[in-house]
Structure 1
Amino acid sequence: MKLASLLTPDLVILDMQSDEHLPAIAELVDHLVSLGQLDRGLRDEMLAALCAREEQVSTGIGSGVAIPHAFSEKVSDVVAVFGRSKEGIDFESLDNGPVHFVILFIVPKKDYQLHLRTLAAIAKMFTNCEIRKQLAAAPSRTEILDILAGKPSGNPA
C-alpha cells in the first residue's frame, strides 16, 4: 500500500511544533482527532499504545525519519498522518539524528500483514535521499502528496 493513498492534504502537517518525540506523537494524534479521522474517545488509548511502542524501541529509523505506529481493534481502516519538522524533533532515533519527517499510522489489529507491508514500503521510500530532499523543499501539502505518490516534482532537481 502506498503512503500517498492513505493521506489527503489535510493529513499533512507542513511544520510540526513539537521538538521531542512523545509530544510530537501527541501533536499528530490530536491532528487526527481534530479532523475526525480518529474518534475523540480513542485519543488517550491510541496515544498510550503509540507511546508504549515507542518505549520498546524508538521508531526513529534514521535519516531524519520516524514511523510511530500501533494496532487497534477499534479502527476499521488504516489511519495515517504525515508531519514535517523544519527544526527537527528529538526522537531518540537509531542514528541519534533529528527527525524531520514523521509518518504515524494506526492499523486495524486484523490487518497485521498490511501493517508489515506498509511499514516496509514507507521505510524503503524514505531511504531515498532525493525523496527526503524533495519533501523538505516542498512548499505545499499537495506537492508533498505528489512526491509520496511518486509523481514527478514540479521543481527541477
Structure 2
Amino acid sequence: MKLANLLTPERIILEMTAGEHWPAIVELIDHLVSCSTLPGEMREEILAALKIREEQVSTGVGYGVAIPHAFSEKLDKVITIFGRSNRGIDFESLDGKPVHFVILFLVPKKDYHLHLQTLAAIAKMFTNAEIRRRLGEAGCHQEILDIFAGKPPKAAGMA
C-alpha cells in the first residue's frame, strides 16, 4: 500500500506550527476536521483514542519520524495526514531526537490488519535517508505526493 494513495494535497501540512508532541497531534486532527476529512463530532473521540495510544509508548519511532495512529468503529476507511516541521517537534521519540515528519493515520476497527500493513509501509519508507532528505526539501504538496508515490526526483532545471 503506497502512502500516496492515502493522502491528498489538502492532507499535507508543509510546515506545522506545533513544537511539542500532543499539540502536534491536535494540530493534525484539527486540520482533518477543517478540511472536512474527519467529521467534527468525531474529534474528541479520535483525540481520546490517540491519547491512550500515545500514553502506552511514544509513536516517535526515530529517524525524525512519528507515526501516531488510532482505531475507530465509526470510520469506514483509513484516514491519513502528513505534517512536516523543519524546526522539529519534541515528540518524546524513542531516539530522543526531534521529529520532522508526522504521519498520522486512523483506521476502521474492522480493518485492524490494515494498521500493521500501513505501519510497515511507512516504517520501510522512512528508513531511507534519501526519502527523508527529499521530503525535507520538497517545496509543494504535489512534490511530497510524488515522493510518496515512489516517483524519481526531477532533474535539476527541469519542470
TM-score bucket (shorter structure)? over 0.9
Residue 19 of structure 1: SS of its match in structure 2?
A: coil
Separation of aligned partners in 1, 2:143 and 2:155: 10
What is the CA-CA distance between 1:111 and the residue it aligns to? 0.5
For the pair 1:83 / 2:96, whether they are aligned, the reply is: no
Report the counterpart of residue 43 of structure 2 in structure 1.
Answer: 43
What is the CA-CA distance between 1:155 and the residue it aligns to? 4.8
Percent of aligned pairs with the same residue?
Answer: 67
Give structure 2 stretches of 5+ with no counterpart. none
Alignment deviations for residues 59-106 of structure 1 (CA, whole Å, 9 cap, x no partner)? 000010000000000010000100000110000000000000000000
For the pair 1:32 / 2:32, whether they are aligned, the reply is: yes
Normalising to structure 1: TM-score of the pair?
0.98
Separation of aligned partners in 2, 1:130 and 1:12: 19
Residue 114 of structure 2: SS of its match in structure 1?
A: helix
Report the counterpart of residue 11 of structure 1 in structure 2.
Answer: 11
Report the counterpart of residue 71 of structure 1 in structure 2.
Answer: 71
RMSD: 0.7
User: After the TM superposition, which parts of structure 1 deviate over 4 Å for at least 4 consecutive aligned residues?
Assistant: none
Alignment deviations for residues 1-44 of structure 1 (CA, whole Å, 9 cap, x no partner)? 11110001111000000000100000000000001110100001
Q: What does 1:1-157 align with in structure 2 at a 5 Å threshold? A: 1-156=1-156
Give structure 1 stretches of 5+ with no counterpart. none
Letter in 2 for 1:115: H
Normalising to structure 2: TM-score of the pair?
0.96
Residue 135 of structure 2: SS of its match in structure 1?
A: helix
